[in-house]
Amino acid sequence: MIYFDNAATTRVYDEAIKTMDKVCGEEYFNPSSTYPGGIAAKKIITEARASVAFALNCSPNAIYFTSCATEANNWALTCGLKNKKGNIVVGSGEHACVYECAKALKSSGVDVRFVPLDSNGIVTPEALYSVMDENTGLVSIMHVSNETGVINDLPALTATAKTISPRCVFHSDGVQAYLKIDNDVLKNGVDLYSLSGHKIGAPKGVGALYISPKLNIRPFIYGGGQESGLRSGTENVAGIAALGVATRIYRERHDNARIVKNRTLLINELKNIPSVKIIAENAPNTGMITSFTALGTKAEIVQTLCAADGVIIGRGSACSSKLSGNRVLSAMGISQKEIDGALRIGLSPETTPEEIIRAVEVIRTNVEKLRGGRIG
């Protein structure tokens, strides 16, 4: 099998699995307990926190573990607005967990404004400027699009936001950016930054939120006071430990030059298929996600046929794949005809050129079957 849906989830690294097994079988103590076993469990969390903090170039005390990025993003939006005052500005291309949370806040009476995307799916400083004002209290713009892999210019966006409303809190969903591009939170100027474990070889069920030490954010979950009193609940020690290990491994294996070569090869191979169009081809991209549309086909059918041939590819955001249409691609001005055939390929640091060539061969064969009327 060739697995090219790494933007949806990744295979858990063997080293992370071994770490989880050891924690669950031998070091299973409650990290809040004060006897040696509990202290040892707490140390495991501390080491993982340091691993994530190193990747973001921040203090370990600024990292708060969550159950997933959806929780981290909801925490940022619901608790990030200082004194619950001011309007909230959100990108139109955000992941569903941010977009739907923003819609819920809007329904409750909060002044929520959505920033339009350009044709590449990017939020430009000019677009952000057009919807913000001095009363904006929170801005949430994703670092990298989960649909297309395009990169938003965080330093430029945070500078724009802070110029218009110096008191505003800037949040960024960094799920598809974490370890794939420069995640220096200080350089990027963000106050809140979310990440997920299962996008980088850690298991599902663990994520994290960076919270700037300058920010006085409200607790998200009340209880026993874990995570410095901001996110109560007994910690998922095994998952957190695996996230720390996966962070180290992914950083070691991510070769940017190799990623660029793989994406170039992938695009060139895809463009050899008649009527295939690369979405946002020339926009800044991590190299890990490539979206394209095969005109005259139905994406779900191509996806199913490819899976039967041993090639797994995505169809936009996995979290929203059961919904009709594609909100993000529509916001980019892409036609419904193009959206109908839109597919997403998510590579990994381990992807080989041979896998890319074979996968595109399978895609081509199935696209041609559909266009020839032999199926469907």
Taking 60 as the threshold, does the pLDDT of residue 267 lie above it?
A: yes
**Beta strand spans in the chain (E):** 2-4, 63-66, 87-91, 112-115, 136-140, 169-173, 192-196, 207-211, 276-278, 289-294, 311-313, 342-346
Amino acid 131: pLDDT:
98
Taking 60 as the threshold, does the pLDDT of residue 374 lie above it?
A: no
Taking 80 as the threshold, does the pLDDT of residue 372 lie above it?
A: no
Share the mean pLDDT of the chain: 95
Domain finish residue from 251, 268, 301: 251
Taking 70 as the threshold, does the pLDDT of residue 125 lie above it?
A: yes
| CA 29 – CA 14 distance, rounded (Å) | 23
Catalytic residue among 68, 79, 168, 319: 319
Taking 50 as the threshold, does the pLDDT of residue 141 lie above it?
A: yes
| CA 256 – CA 49 distance, rounded (Å) | 25
| CA 340 – CA 337 distance, rounded (Å) | 5
Amino acid 321: pLDDT:
52
Greater model confidence, 147 or 375: 147
Domain span holding position 272: 2-9+255-371
Taking 70 as the threshold, does the pLDDT of residue 376 lie above it?
A: no
Question: In this predicted structure, which of 62-71, 208-217, 232-241, 314-323 has the lowest mean pLDDT?
Answer: 314-323
| CA 58 – CA 65 distance, rounded (Å) | 15
Check whether residue 179 and residue 56 sit in a common domain. Answer: yes
pTM: 0.95
Taking 80 as the threshold, does the pLDDT of residue 375 lie above it?
A: no
CATH code of 342's domain: 3.90.1150.10
- 163 burial (CB, 10 Å; 0-12 / 13-18 / 19+) is exposed
Q: What is the mean pLDDT of residues 49-67?
A: 98
Domain count, the chain: 2
Q: Are 144 and 286 in contact (CB under 8 A)?
A: yes
Each residue's pLDDT tens digit, 91-101: 999 999 999 99
Each residue's pLDDT tens digit, 279-292: 999 999 999 999 99
Check whether residue 90 and residue 163 sit in a common domain. Answer: yes
Q: What is the mean pLDDT of residues 53-58?
A: 97
Question: In this predicted structure, which of 274-278, 314-318, 341-345 has the lowest mean pLDDT?
Answer: 314-318
Taking 90 as the threshold, does the pLDDT of residue 81 lie above it?
A: no
CATH code of 53's domain: 3.40.640.10
Q: What is the mean pLDDT of residues 315-321?
A: 61
Check whether residue 53 and residue 178 sit in a common domain. Answer: yes
Amino acid 371: pLDDT:
82
101 included as an active-site residue = no
Residue 376 lies in a domain: no
Q: Are 106 and 231 in contact (CB under 8 A)?
A: no
